[in-house]
Structure 1
Amino acid sequence: MTARFPDTSPHARLVAPNLHRRGFLRLASAAGLTAALAACGGPSTSGSGASPASSAPADIDYTGVQPAAQVTMWSSNPGSSQAVTQQIIDAFHASQPDIKVNLVTAGKDYEEIAQKFQTAQTGGTLPDLIVLSDVWWFRYYMLGSIVPLDSAIKAVGIETGDYQDQLLADYQYAGGQWALPWARSTPLFYYNKAHWAAAGLPDRAPTTWAEFNEWAPKLQAAGTGVQHAFQLPALAGYAGWTFQNNLWGWGGAWSKDWDVTSDSAESVAAMQFLQDAVYKGRWAGVSSNDSANDLSAGAVSATMSSTGSLVGILKTATFDVGAGPLPGGPAATSPVCPTGGAGLGIPKAIPKENQLAAATFLKFLTSPENTVTFAGATGYMPIRKSADISALVAKAPQSKVAIDQLTVTRTQDRARVFFPGADQEMAKSCANILTQQADVHSEMTALKATLTGIYDQDVKPNL
């Protein structure tokens, strides 16, 4: 196996169980709860001293405010991005002498950085700019822990119209822009071109899962030595994210708006197809760690993995790597691809001077030129429409697949990204279905009850 590429998924892995007991996911304030959270260090949406966000964010007056001379950015370095982020910071320092940016590795993944941010709300030192993954930012919106960026965007002259519309919209709610896109990704279908050739398959990703179901036996019989034609992603990091592709393709979803629909006939059929691929067709396995590494090692013929895995796969694979858009299902072939990854937000409880300095650097960090630099080093998508991607595509033609696929992405189901802890619950249910051969309908029905409970207790009272 090759070295693991940490945190390239939108939700890299389940955190330790003690950090996600249901009591620590509650948003309702309770006496002594803040102290308990600080003691055990678990990220939570429980009261942290900040009032819940209002339905319409108020403008922030930055008139006469001078940017602070120094700010700190907290990152988990998604996609092994520490070096390229520091490179961009150094370029920022060279371009102007007034603001110094300190990069702090605040955790090895999105969960650890969220844990540290939660702890800082109780009296620690807050960052001025923080990485917020797709499944974490909304709980901090509900808590009022992050500032709406609209006023800062105007103050420093950020051209939001040049950001990819789908990626910008992922952080919009109640009339406010709560983060800006940065390390953004979509899932891709990666495959071993040599295995494809050995099986006599066309050099492309399958158009539908039904088509791949026909291809899989040919790959299994091609004499490549693999155990499985396809490797399902590690469930702890990918299940809730990538399986939206299957659910949508079958006409299902984790939820529709705020209503949980995991038990619908369509959603159950989608998960039944995956279970059958593992236990009946036996052409699919389930990664125990990182399916991108499994593919790079030649252990499987294909997988779904993040755009942010692209650079790592290309570095370590000893074969030609193919990449294509995600397959569709019997009900829909487009759009069946979710966006994912992380954006950057600004804490509310820091001085306006720091907010303005953080926004000044955020403008530079996400400029058209720097988004190409970042994408080239990590595999994440360029987030600006005006970015010149010619050199990027020339170096790694596979990167254009994600850029092209972006036009047909779909906003993620609210149950996954807006319900605190829901992603972990989805992963548990998928693990029962795909590694324990549990009854699919029963698991998806139980999941609905769990997710509905999270909504009723954690989300609905705070909207």
Structure 2
Amino acid sequence: MNNLYIPRSGISLDRRGFLGLSALGLSAAALSACGGGPSTSGGKAAGKVEQIDFSGVKPAKEITFWTSNPGDSIKVSTELVNAFNASQTDIKVKLVTAGADYEEIAQKFQTAQTGGDLPDLINLSDVWWFRYKMNDQIIPLDSLFETLEFETDDFVDSLLGDYLYDDAHWAVPWARSTPLFYYNKDHWKKAGLPDHGPETWEEFDEWKAKLAAKGGAKFAFQFPALAGYAGWTLQNNLWGWGGGWSKEESFDISCNSKESVEALSFLKDWVYKDKVAGVAGVDQIQDFAAGVASTTVGSTGDLITAITSAKFDVGVAPLPAGPAETDKICPTGGSGVGIPKDISPERQLAAGTFLKFLTEPEQAIKFSEATGYVPVRKSADPAAILKKTPQAQVAIDQLPNTRSQDYARVFLPGGDLEMANHMASILTENKDVQAEMDSLKTALDKIYTDQVKPLI
């Protein structure tokens, strides 16, 4: 997401200039309609970002860290909090499970804006953090970086860069992920397939019949649960065919393009024509680990769960390419950590102190080793991770082939839900792909027209 293109307005902005819009009469409240979240109201006029001056500020003695425990990370997060508390006596961190998922923690954070019981740090998903920034609810972190001497150059550039707007960083990468291709090695062997993932989806299309006939599972492939996953993982398939939910770096909706329809029709045939694929009702990794499907697509954050839950040897591969595109066909994902605005500088400084500790190479490796999320620091030695979980090398190697997510999913409120609903119609109700994608385009254009365009 290097540029924001606003159709019919003649405005094209890079991420550093995105917020400098006050001269155009554009408010942060208006732009907050571009992000997901329980509300698109509130916020102040966009303008030059003011960094907080922490000179002379003494850190608070106690702070809270809200997390939704992504990747079943409660145990390792507790260990890291305890390690920080034991390493010094100035600041005590309390870990709070503030929701079962990103949506629940977002709702609780919204409630806290008026209730006054704000955390000092909060776990922010790839979709939700931008809304908090637009509504003026989190602080720019760069002055904290300077005050506390963060080694920002050591963060993986693309991961830290995801939070850069108007020359300011609004979060720090933490539980970051990409989708991976998971396969059952026992089923692969029974089907006479080579012990590696397919390079392209067309290659898997040739393999699926062998898996269905000899692999031993109910399905050769299991689509992820569509709610929350369809809009994310299917970006890979759409990009591989030269399509997308929207055209790259724009709000020009392209989900009903020839390329996008071809990509989705290709997948639909697995379910209804070839009858070798199913759709997970709740959790595709649980289904995969139970042997229901020979392969699926899931987050790197599911890696440890998949390996420990399965009673077979789990294979992991990068996402397959398409017939049109082979580079930059894997979306980024996961979450970072930000600091609320409406707390005292003393609490913000203490939060920054813990945030620095939390993302240092040693802690980054411990977190990745326990969860399967990718290490966020360049200098983090993955030897311990790879010794315990060699499959993690795939996620690390795939990082250079990632692409920032589709605007239609990230910035249109309710866009991800519309994608999930229309994909459910296609993959679980056998609806016509072109008709559903035409309908989706209408829905996404309406979101833009009704909730974004009138305010810019």
Alignment TM-score, normalising by the size of structure 2 = 0.89
1:181 aligns with 2:181: no
Contact conserved, 2:29 with 2:44, CA < 8 A, in 1?
no
Task: Kindly state the Cα deviation for residue 56 of structure 1 after the two structures are TM-superposed.
Answer: 3.5
Task: Kindly state the Cα deviation for residue 315 of structure 1 after the two structures are TM-superposed.
Answer: 0.7
Which moved further from structure 2: 146-155 or 381-390? 146-155
- Aligned residue for 2:448? 455
- Aligned residue for 1:47? 41
Contact conserved, 2:37 with 2:413, CA < 8 A, in 1?
no
1:301 aligns with 2:316: no
- Aligned residue for 2:398? 405
Q: 1:462 to 1:89 in 2, by over 3 A?
A: farther
User: What are the within-5 Å matches in structure 2 for residues 87-102 of structure 1?
Assistant: 87-102=79-94
Contact conserved, 1:76 with 1:106, CA < 8 A, in 2?
yes
1:151 aligns with 2:143: yes
- Aligned residue for 2:355? 362
Letter paired with 2:327:
S
Matched residues in 2 for 1:90 and 1:305: separation? Answer: 30
1:117 to 92, 109, 112: 109
Aligned to 1:294, the other structure's residue is in SS state helix
1:429 aligns with 2:429: no
Matched positions, count: 423
Contact conserved, 1:190 with 1:323, CA < 8 A, in 2?
yes
Letter paired with 1:86:
T
Deviation string 1:260-312 (CA, Å, 9 cap, x unpaired) is 22121111111111111111122211111111111111111000001011101
Matched residues in 1 for 2:166 and 2:442: separation? Answer: 27
Contact conserved, 1:136 with 1:420, CA < 8 A, in 2?
no
Task: Kindly state the Cα deviation for residue 338 of structure 1 after the two structures are TM-superposed.
Answer: 0.7
Identity of aligned residues (%): 58
Matched residues in 1 for 2:452 and 2:150: separation? Answer: 31
Task: Kindly state the Cα deviation for residue 259 of structure 1 after the two structures are TM-superposed.
Answer: 2.0
1:278 to 249, 255, 271: 271
1:196 aligns with 2:185: no
Task: Kindly state the Cα deviation for residue 28 of structure 1 after the two structures are TM-superposed.
Answer: 6.1
Matched residues in 2 for 1:333 and 1:28: separation? Answer: 36
Task: Kindly state the Cα deviation for residue 462 of structure 1 after the two structures are TM-superposed.
Answer: 6.5
Aligned to 1:71, the other structure's residue is in SS state strand
Aligned to 1:259, the other structure's residue is in SS state coil
Task: Kindly state the Cα deviation for residue 459 of structure 1 after the two structures are TM-superposed.
Answer: 4.2
Alignment TM-score, normalising by the size of structure 1 = 0.88
Aligned to 2:137, the other structure's residue is in SS state coil
Q: 1:350 to 1:461 in 2, by over 3 A?
A: farther
Deviation string 1:201-228 (CA, Å, 9 cap, x unpaired) is 1110001110000000011111x43121
User: What are the within-5 Å matches in structure 2 for residues 186-225 of structure 1?
Assistant: 186-222=178-214, 224-225=215-216
Task: Kindly state the Cα deviation for residue 241 of structure 1 after the two structures are TM-superposed.
Answer: 0.5
- Aligned residue for 1:36? none
Contact conserved, 1:194 with 1:319, CA < 8 A, in 2?
yes
Q: 1:174 to 1:438 in 2, by over 3 A?
A: farther
- Aligned residue for 2:3? none
- Aligned residue for 1:160? 152
- Aligned residue for 1:22? none
Matched residues in 2 for 1:126 and 1:162: separation? Answer: 30
Letter paired with 1:73:
F
Task: Kindly state the Cα deviation for residue 62 of structure 1 after the two structures are TM-superposed.
Answer: 1.3
Contact conserved, 1:187 with 1:305, CA < 8 A, in 2?
yes
Deviation string 1:384-432 (CA, Å, 9 cap, x unpaired) is 0000101110111100100000011111111112222211111111111
Q: 1:330 to 1:43 in 2, by over 3 A?
A: closer
Q: 1:134 to 1:461 in 2, by over 3 A?
A: farther
- Aligned residue for 1:245? 236
Matched residues in 2 for 1:94 and 1:441: separation? Answer: 59
Task: Kindly state the Cα deviation for residue 377 of structure 1 after the two structures are TM-superposed.
Answer: 0.9
Q: CA RMSD in A?
A: 1.8
Deviation string 1:152-197 (CA, Å, 9 cap, x unpaired) is 1211111111111121122122322111111111100010111111
- Aligned residue for 1:384? 377
Matched residues in 2 for 1:404 and 1:226: separation? Answer: 29
Deviation string 1:369-389 (CA, Å, 9 cap, x unpaired) is 001100111111111000010
Deviation string 1:221-262 (CA, Å, 9 cap, x unpaired) is 11x431210101000121010000000000011123232221
- Aligned residue for 1:440? 433
Matched residues in 1 for 2:47 and 2:221: separation? Answer: 45
